[in-house]
Every structure is written in C-alpha cells, then in structure tokens.
A and B are shown apart, each in its own frame.
Chain A
Amino acid sequence: MNYSRNRMDCRPVFQQCLLMLLCCCSLLMTQVSPALADTDLVYSTRSVEDVRETTRNWLKSHSENEEWQTEFDQLWESATADRLTETVVNSGLLIQPELNRWLEITQGSIFSHLETYQEFLEKLKAASEEENQDQHYLLNQIGLYVGASLTRAQEYDEAWEIFSVLKPGNVVDPGEYFFYKSICAQQLLKREEALEALTALLDQTEQIPTRYNRVGELMKQELEQLEAESIGEIAHKMGDSERRLDLGRAGRRVQKVQKEILDALDKMIEDLEQQQQQQASAGQGNGSGQQNQGGVQPLQESIIKGSTAPGEVDPKKFKKQGSWGDLPPKAEARARSLIDRDYPAHYQQAIERYFRKLATRPAED
C-alpha cells in the first residue's frame, strides 16, 4: 500500500497534470448537459473505445496502483455498446470493490434490500448536488445500472426515484438513461414526464440503438393517444395494480392505485348517467314534435341498418387468424353430407373445384 502511494508521488509532475487534464476533458464531455427542459441540447452516444479510455483514466486517478490493468483489459476485450454501463461498473469495482454492495439491490425483490436501497438513493442525491462529478463517476454509472435493472424487474417506483436523481449528462450512456426512464414514467402513468424523456431519447440523443428507437416511438404514440380520465387510462392503471399484486405487494401503494381506479370508474359512471338523463329529457322534449312532423331524423353517418357496432374491423386479425367465415367443423361436415345427399354428383365436383380455386388465390393486402 505504502509502496504504491510512493510510486504515485514519484510520478513526474507533468505526467500527473496530463492525466488530470485528460480526466477532466473526458468527464466534461458527459457533464455539459443536465437540464432536460433544454430542448437545444443534444446528447451523443459515445463509442466503446471512448468510454474505455475515460474509465481507464478515471481508474488511474483513483487508484494507488495499476494492478487492475490486466483484468480491465480483459473486461473491455468483450465490451459491446449495449453493455457499456455494465462494463464501466465492473471496471470500477476492480478498484472500489466495496461499492459492489449497491448491486445487491438488483438481486431479488427490492424489499429484501430496502435499507441498502434507501442508503444508495441518499448517496446518489448527495452526489448529484455536488459540482465536481469526477469523484462520483462510478457511482453515477452504478445508478444507471441499478435503475435499468430495477426497471427490467418491473420495480418501477424505485427505479423512477433513481432516474429522478440521476442526470443524463453524468452517465456514459444517455440513450439507456432516457429509454429506461421513459419506461418507468409510462408504466407509472406519469404522462408528461414520459413524453419529456421520450422526446429527449428520440429527438435529442444521437445514434441510439434501433430497439430504443422503435419501442420509444410506440410508447410515444400510445401516450399521445391516451386521453386523461378515459377508460383506456383506467385499463392502464389496472395493469399497474396487476403488476404490483404480481410482485407480492399488498400495502398502501397498491391500495392507493386501486382506489384511484375505483374513483375513476365512479366518475365515469356518474358522467354517463348524467349524459343518459340529458338524452332522456331531450328525447321526451323532442319526441312529440317529431311525431307530429312525421319526419325521421337523418343518420349522422352512413351505417348498416340495425347495426349497433361501428363496423370497424382490424384487417390484421384476418391475416393472423385466417379462419373468419369458416363454419365449425361439425356444421361443415353436415353441410357436405347434405350436398352429397340432395344434389347431383357433379355439384360436389364443382364445389370442390371452387374451393380449390379459392385456396390458391393470392391473399389481398
């Protein structure tokens, strides 16, 4: 230990200055950015090589020896862009193994590690308020890693708390940050926050992976179509309640969500009943007048007479199922036997020819 410290002290002053300068430059690249509301800001996804060098320099400036170099090189040999954060975290643990305890938060249910999680969150909060983020480089990447892992485990409440504290400019993969943050917000029905994170992901982050792009577009589309206090929103909240129950939660949080569902249903029923009363009173008022005139009001839209359904059919369902209009097998057999029995034999051949032709006809788009 002493030997290492001495070695560090004996390092030429110029070399130490250069090292510090490199660290500052590389960290600056990720620090210029924090506010999400700044729509002019563009986040870039950094290359694996770039992050590797940043991490290597950070390790050099925060360790008393360089015994970690071999393992570090091994880790980065197999590093890929989609495991960037994980590789940085594993590299950092080579010199600060005590931080490994934060990763326990991602093992099993969050409630098995509630104290550790609270402690970690406090540490992240304290770190985020400091100006010099260099010393918290590893902690920030662990934050992103834990947040993403909790999101994948559907522990959205806790993941959201982490993403609310973390700043996108302090992580090596801002695309990953915005992607998982938007998932948490969408699942917790934080519409505005989700749309804000999705805008940052889709419009303000360069070179994001295709999967982030596709899923992000879908989430944005769904959120934009979701009307407040609609039945769609109620169904979404029911999904949230289901997730919590599935995770084994029965406490105040899930009960609050369930109460919100009930309140929303009550309000919807009340609104519809008012609408019904208005229709009934309007109907009574107009009823006699219309009968006297002997006229019938024209339809608002063209519909099939007697139909109550809107007549809108998703064409994709036809393609997938492909059996629409088919008789049940028993009924089909009965119909075939009727044809055999009641009609001349050549009718059967003609019908079979017709079905063969129908089967070979190319499907329409």
Chain B
Amino acid sequence: MNWKRVSALSLLREEGSSVAFPEAVEQLLEDIKMVVKRLQKEDVTEFTRAVEQDIVTAIEEIIATLQQEMEKQSEQNQQGQSGGGGQQGDPGLVEKIAELKMLRTLQYRVNRRTTQIGQLITGEQVEEQELLDQLEGLADRQDRIREATYDISTQKNQ
C-alpha cells in the first residue's frame, strides 16, 4: 500500500505536466495520516470530523478533475479522428486554467481549515499547542501552494 502510494505520487511528480495535482494528492495523504493519529487517540471531536469531511471532499474534487480531464481527452481524440473541425484554442491556456482550478481547490482547503480553527478561538491569536501545530502544518501547505503558484507563473511545469 505504502509502496503504491509512493510510486503513484512519484509518477505524478515525475510526469511533471501538473504542479497542483501532485500537491493535492500529497495534502490528501497528510490529512489521512492526521485523522489516523487523532482516531488512535480516540479523538472524535468536531475538528477531527471536519478533517474527515475534508478528505471526502478532496477525493471527490480530485475524481471530478480527473473525469473532466478524461472527457476532454476523449473529445480531442474524437475530433482528431474526424479530421478536426476548428481549432480548440491554445493548449497551454487550457492547461493553465486546469492548474489554476486545482490551486484554487488547494487554497480553498487551507481557507476552510483556517476558518475551522478560527471558530475555536476568540480574537486572532491561537494559544493552544495542538491548534498551533495545526496552523504550522497549514503554513507549510500555504507555502507549497505559493511555490506551485510561482512555478505556474514562471511556466516551470511546461
């Protein structure tokens, strides 16, 4: 299982055409690990359930993106077989939109998690160590999303 996970992620990263998609899978795995740890400690609080819900949503989002991509490819193949019928626009632009949509999903997840933590405190500053650890993890995610955004802006994935 672990080997498959690593190789699927490696494959996504090495294939290199997408910056945001491997990041989405990586974050999904981190969330799963977090829930495992919390459940091992018999923690079934609202926050744990919210993370579980996030995992389900993330999987749904990834599946939806993949389906869209597969549909797009089959359309392109059909058009190729039937001899064209008009240009489909700049393929670079299509990829960029897909990447930005995935980045948006990743950012949305960070926002949602921040709001969830924000609801547990009064004011701006988090004091509880466990929540601080969560925020540290979120900061790390935000940094990786920023890097992916930078890579897309500089077309590093091309």
Contacts and interface: CB of A to CB of B under 8 A. Distances in A.
B107 A258 contact: yes
Interface stretch (B2-10, B25-33, B50-58, B80-88): B80-88
A255 to B, nearest CB: 6
B124 A250 contact: yes
B114 A269 contact: no
B126 interface: yes
Interface in A251-280: 251-255, 258-259, 261-262, 265-266, 268-269, 272-273, 275-276, 279-280
A335 interface: no
B137 to A, nearest CB: 9
B79 to A, nearest CB: 12
A200 to B, nearest CB: 30
Given A252-B118, A283-B89, A259 B124 contact: no
A365 to B, nearest CB: 24
B48 interface: no
A246 B126 CA distance: 11
B88 A308 contact: no
B9 to A, nearest CB: 19
B40 interface: no
Given A245-B135, A280-B87, A280-B89, A250 B114 contact: yes
A258 B114 contact: yes
A266 B104 contact: yes
A114 B47 CA distance: 28
Contacts of A238: 107, 142-143, 145-146, 149
Interface string B8-27: 00000000000000000000
Given A239-B146, A250-B117, A255-B111, A280 B88 contact: yes
Contacts of B86: 280, 283-284, 287
B146 A287 contact: no
Interface string B81-122: 000111111111110110011011001101100110110010
A124 B96 CA distance: 49
B155 interface: yes
A177 B110 CA distance: 35
Contact of B135 (A248, A259, A269): A248
Contacts of A248: 125-127, 132, 135
Contacts of A268: 100
Contact of B97 (A231, A255, A269, A309): A269
B78 interface: no
Residue of A231, A234, A248 with most chain B CB atoms under a 10 A cut-off: A248
A283 B101 CA distance: 24
Contacts of A250: 114, 117-118, 121, 124, 126, 131, 135
B139 interface: yes
- A interface majority secondary structure: helix
Given A245-B135, A248-B135, A273-B97, A309 B158 contact: yes
B103 A265 contact: yes
Interface string A219-252: 0000000000011101100110111011011111
Contact of B93 (A242, A255, A275, A284): A275
Given A242-B139, A251-B123, A259-B111, A272 B96 contact: yes
A241 B145 CA distance: 11
B114 to A, nearest CB: 5
B62 interface: no
A308 B91 contact: yes
A231 B138 contact: no
Contacts of A232: 150, 153
A253 B88 contact: no
A232 B152 CA distance: 10
A243 B104 CA distance: 19
A231 B19 CA distance: 15
27 contacts: A111-B123, A111-B125, A230-B153, A235-B146, A235-B149, A238-B145, A239-B146, A243-B139, A245-B142, A246-B136, A248-B135, A249-B125, A250-B126, A251-B118, A252-B118, A255-B114, A262-B104, A262-B108, A265-B103, A265-B104, A266-B104, A269-B100, A276-B89, A287-B86, A308-B91, A308-B158, A309-B158
Interface of A: 109, 111, 230-232, 234-235, 238-239, 241-243, 245-246, 248-255, 258-259, 261-262, 265-266, 268-269, 272-273, 275-276, 279-280, 283-284, 286-287, 308-310
Q: 8 closest A-B pairs (Cβ-Cβ)?
A: A283-B87, A251-B124, A111-B125, A279-B89, A238-B146, A245-B139, A284-B86, A231-B153
